[in-house]
Amino acid sequence: MIAAAGAAALAAALAGCGAQGDSSNGSAAHLAAPDIPAPARGALPIGAPEPLRADPHAVQWAPLRRATVARAAPSPKARAVASLSSRTPEDTTNLVLVLARARDAHGGLWIRARLPARRAQSGWLPRAALGGYEDVHTRLIVDRGRLSLTLLRNGRAVFRAPVGIGRATTPTPAGDFYIRDRLTRYASPFYGPVAFGTSAQSATLTDWPAGGYVGIHRTNQPELIPGRVSHGCIRLRNADIARLARLLPVGTPLQIR
């Protein structure tokens, strides 16, 4: 009797948990579904996607991870135009200026790059031969007619200075190049505490270490600046090269007019 009474009480408790009987006809109770509100209107609506705008002043460069061959087209079968080492003659990391991208017939990615080579201004390199991209927003202009140097940042001039350039018999080459390395170990009265190597090469011997590549450095004869006084390198007065060193990053495009 006690067990039966307990079972009856438990059944009554369960029947009354969350439900009520229908007093009108005595049928079994049904759970009422709650009203579900309509979804709230988004507080942060997502519009149509827009492509990122290219920065007109940004230029990319990349270091070479290994020695490679630059080719005339984005294909491993294209004509070779230059052989590049991963190190410069000054034993710094070699780098190239990124100009364009393309894929070959097999989907391989290639980079057209400005090269540090006399006979080839640009060539195609396999992307796998390069390291990560770096951005610069600067541009360096050397005007041989005005014997001047101007550094632009985001299109605005931030530094100007008179320069010495090559003599008529050893001219500073004209063209589009870039700043390839920054050197601080040539602490001598001639080169000064800092100098820059460029991708430009002279058709005649220059006074830059390792020969051939045009450098930007100080001079021990500042009274000759501005003038046509060098073997092809670009010389600045001591105070000017010190200030330029604080403003000029490697990878900066260089235009010699």
Q: Which residues are identified as catalytic?
A: 217, 233
**Token pair listed for 191:** 């080169």
Question: How far is residue 121's CA from residue 104's CA, in Å, rounded to a whole number?
Answer: 21
Question: How far is residue 255's CA from residue 130's CA, in Å, rounded to a whole number?
Answer: 24
Question: How far is residue 115's CA from residue 110's CA, in Å, rounded to a whole number?
Answer: 14
Question: How far is residue 128's CA from residue 64's CA, in Å, rounded to a whole number?
Answer: 9
Question: How far is residue 140's CA from residue 245's CA, in Å, rounded to a whole number?
Answer: 12
Among the residues of 118-183, which ranges form H helices? Answer: none
How deeply is 149 buried, as exposed, middle or buried, from its count of CB atoms within 10 A (0-12, 13-18, 19+)?
A: buried
Q: What is the largest CA-CA distance in the chain?
A: 125
> Rounded to a whole number, what is the distance in angstroms from the first to the last CA of the chain?
113
Give the bridge partners for 216, in sequence order.
196, 234
Handedness of CA 135, 138, 143, 149 (dihedral sign): negative
